[in-house]
Amino acid sequence: MLGIVRIRFAALMALCLTVLCAHAQQFNISPTDSLVEEFPTDSLTRIFQLDFPNATADSLGLTWRWIGGGWTEGWDVNLCDLGECYTGVPSDADMMPMPPDGAAFLKLIVNSLEVEGSCFLHFWVWPTGNQDAFVDVYFDLQNGGVNAIESLDAFSAPRAYPNPVISGQTVTLDGLNPFSPSAVQRFGPDGKFHLCDPSATPSGWTLSTTGWPAGQHWIQWSDSRPPVRLIVE
C-alpha cells in the first residue's frame, strides 16, 4: 500500500510540474513593457522598438493586437513585426516563429514631420494560440513641444491635474470643453476601458477617481487627440 501511495504522489507532483511549466513565461520583454520616449520636433524618421526574446527551448510564434490609442494628425507612423512591415498600424497579426535563441519584435517607424504632438499605442502580445497568456505593452512617444504647457492650445493638448493623484481625489480635465462628458473614457491598469462621468464646474470639467486602483491610467477623448496619462497612488 505504501508503494502505491508513493507512486500516486509522484504522479501528482509530475502533473503539478507540468501545469506550472505550461503557465511559465514563454517570452520576455526588452527593454520595458512601457517604452516612453521624447524627441525633437523635426522631420527625421526614428525607430522605436520592443523586443520579445524567446524564453523556451523551442521555436515560438507570437500574436499581437492593437488595443487602443493613436497619434497626432500629420504624423507618419508605420509598424513592423517579425516577418512583415505595414503601412500604418493594422489591427492584429501573427508573427513569424522565432528560434529558441531568437527574438520577435514590434517596431514603430515614426516621423512627426515637424508637427508637435504625441503617439500612444497599446498592444496585447501572446503566444500564438494562447491568448489567455497575453501581456500589455505600450509605446508612449512625444516630441519636444508637447510638454511646454504654456505654449499649447487647450483643444489640442488636454490635461488632467493634479497628476499624480491619490485615489478618491478629484482631477480637473483641462481641454475637454466644448465636448460633452460622454466623450471621455479611461483605460485602467486592469487592461480594460471604462466610461467616465465628468462633472461640470464653472471652470470646466472634473472627474472623481473614487474606486480607481493604484497604477497608470489613460484618459482618452473620443476625438483624435492624444490620451493623457494619469498616475493614481
Q: Are 38 and 58 found together in one domain?
A: yes
pTM of the model: 0.57
Question: Is 7 domain-assigned?
Answer: no
Tell me 162's DSSP state.
S
What's the domain range around 38?
Answer: 34-147
pLDDT tens figures, 69-128: 888 889 999 999 999 999 999 889 999 999 999 999 999 999 999 898 889 899 999 999
Identify the domain boundary among 86, 119, 147: 147
CATH number at residue 165: 2.60.40
Number of domains in the chain: 2
Predicted confidence band at 226 (pLDDT cuts at 50, 70, 90)? low
Digit-coded pLDDT (tens) for 182-194: 467 787 787 777 8
User: Are 127 and 152 spatial neighbours (Cβ–Cβ below 8 Å)?
Assistant: no
- Please give the pLDDT value at position 220: 74
State the CATH number of the domain containing residue 129: 2.60.40.10
Tens of pLDDT, residue by residue over 170-214, are 988 766 554 555 467 787 787 777 888 778 776 667 889 999 999
